[in-house]
Amino acid sequence: MNRESLNIVVVGHVDHGKSTLIGRLLYDTDSLSKGAIDKVKRISAEKGKSFEYAYLLDAFEEEQKQGITIDTTRLQFKTDKRDYVIIDAPGHVEFLKNMISGAASAEGAILMVDAEEGIKEQSKRHGYILSLLGIKKVYVAVNKMDLVGYSQDRYREIERDFNEFLNPLGVNPIEYIPISAYYGENITAKSGELSWYEGESIIEAIDSLEKEPEAEQKELRFPIQDVYKFDHRRIIAGRIESGSIEVGDEITIHPSGKQTRVKTLEYWQEGDRSDVAKAGESIGITVEDEFFYNRGDFITHRESSLSTGNRFRGNVFWLGKNDLVPNKKYKLKLSTAEVECQIETIIKAIDASTLEEVESPSGIKKNDVGEVIVRTKSEIGFDLFNELESTGRFVIVDDFDISGGGIILGQEESEAENA
Ligand code: GDP
């Protein structure tokens, strides 16, 4: 049986203990070879330390690089429940780019805070990034509890102060977990030093996260890639982004809203033939009524939560050499749809390296992020990123270059076209 796998990201201010926690997680779940552990013991001894868990990361990465099949940027560990992949977040810019473009996706996050130092600028920035990306499953690890004498008052203080900052951003941590990554308190098992804490340890906490349903369990999204004429039949071809489709299903085509029924599923290879096709498969279908279909139209089941319209609010990450500015014509790509668009309003612009808000922005600069209202020339179908990731994400093309990407946060009321 395939084991379930969950992606998490560990973020937090420099030196607050991210590497140490990750090293601990790898070590305490037996995800490391004896060779790697021995090497870390040796290096730690040379530096006059007992055992530096942060070094385990280097040893582990080195080991993975020697293997041929393992992706070196992904650290993995297993618990009894499932496998975990730690998405690396080396810098804001790379991380945001990967997350917004869909190159990486984190389902849960651990935000680290040093109990002694308290909340620092980067703790806030990282909290902000989580909100920007719509990551809702967040744990705060209050680390280095050993340095504050495992004080419950200090823990409470951090919880109160950080909530004051995070909650208005829409980030509501599931739990604040007091830990000592260095001494392994509250990582796998409950800690004796922290007996006043009744919640879960780090491993128990992440194991209790509910995994998002797999794409095939979600609503049907079948973006039309092409329509072929074949033996007098018209075959609608595309890749199923989510859900599944069966012969006989009642379907709606968006944005026209026309309805029909699936007559046949057509496969490119004879051996693949089946009466049901699922997320990830590229197929063709024929339908009972012949309408005029466009590339970029969406097929869903008759009842669906897909939005259609020409205005939405989203977060964008901009990489273009020219600033992203209002009232300029761009091309928007969403699944297979390609449509002219404009930025109607820049709600805010944020400098991605400092995460400070830019005052009265006239545009969004290269490598910065922002919240905008996008208006497309014609109506399109789309989802909110929170509900369906792959069809809630878009790309902006400026002058033939892919210049930015974004996620859709909400639908705005549609306005008459060409108004
Ligand atoms: P990162 O920059 O967030 O990856 O932080 P590191 O994991 O490299 O940790 C920074 C320093 O804090 C290292 O010297 C660690 O040994 C130390 N450290 C990490 N966790 C703890 C802890 O729970 N208690 C104590 N006393 N030191 C810790």
Q: Which atom of ligand 1 is nearest to the CA of 49?
A: 16
Same domain, 295 and 249: yes
Q: Do β-strands 5-12 and 108-114 pair in parallel, antiparallel, or remain unpaired? A: parallel
**Per-residue confidence (pLDDT) for residue 233, from 0 to 100:** 85
Residue 1 pLDDT class (50, 70, 90 cuts): low
Query: For the chain, what is the mean pLDDT?
Result: 88
For residue 287, the domain's CATH number is 2.40.30.10
Q: Which has the minimum average pLDDT: 126-135, 154-163, 300-309, 338-347?
A: 126-135
Same domain, 125 and 29: yes
Domain end residue (candidates: 208, 231, 257): 208
Distance from residue 325's CA to the centre of ligand 1 (Å) = 42
> Domain count of the chain?
3
Same domain, 97 and 20: yes
Same domain, 154 and 235: no
Cβ–ligand 1 distance for 15 under 6 Å, the answer yes
Each residue's pLDDT tens digit, 68-124: 443 445 688 999 999 999 886 666 677 777 777 676 778 899 999 999 999 998 888
CB within 8 A of 355, min separation 6: which ones?
92, 124, 125, 128, 129
Q: From CA 48, how far away is CA 357, in angstroms rounded?
A: 44
Same domain, 71 and 173: yes
Domain end residue (candidates: 186, 208, 230): 208
Which pTM does this prediction carry?
0.79
Cβ–ligand 1 distance for 110 under 6 Å, the answer no
Cβ–ligand 1 distance for 57 under 6 Å, the answer no
Radius of gyration of the chain (CA): 24
403: exposed, middle or buried (C-beta count within 10 Å: 0-12, 13-18, 19+)? buried
- Domain containing residue 45: 5-208
Residue 63 clears pLDDT 70, i.e. is over it: no
Same domain, 236 and 377: no
Q: What value of ipTM does the predicted structure carry?
A: 0.99
Question: Which amino acid type is present at position 327?
Answer: N
Adjacency order of strands within the sheet including 233-239: 222-223, 298-301, 250-254, 258-266, 282-287, 233-239, 226-230
Mean per-residue pLDDT, 301-323: 94
Cβ–ligand 1 distance for 143 under 6 Å, the answer yes
Each residue's pLDDT tens digit, 172-202: 999 999 999 999 999 998 888 999 999 999 9
Same domain, 233 and 332: no
Same domain, 156 and 38: yes
Same domain, 259 and 333: no
Cβ–ligand 1 distance for 19 under 6 Å, the answer yes
Q: Which atom of ligand 1 is nearest to the CA of 21?
A: 7
Q: Which atom of ligand 1 is nearest to the CA of 143?
A: 23
Q: Which atom of ligand 1 is nearest to the CA of 54?
A: 7
Q: Which atom of ligand 1 is nearest to the CA of 183?
A: 23
Residue 324 pLDDT class (50, 70, 90 cuts): very high
Cβ–ligand 1 distance for 144 under 6 Å, the answer yes
Same domain, 244 and 373: no
Are 280 and 216 spatial neighbours (Cβ–Cβ below 8 Å)? Answer: yes
Same domain, 49 and 195: yes
Residue 237 clears pLDDT 60, i.e. is over it: yes
Cβ–ligand 1 distance for 182 under 6 Å, the answer yes
Domain end residue (candidates: 258, 279, 301): 301
Same domain, 312 and 281: no
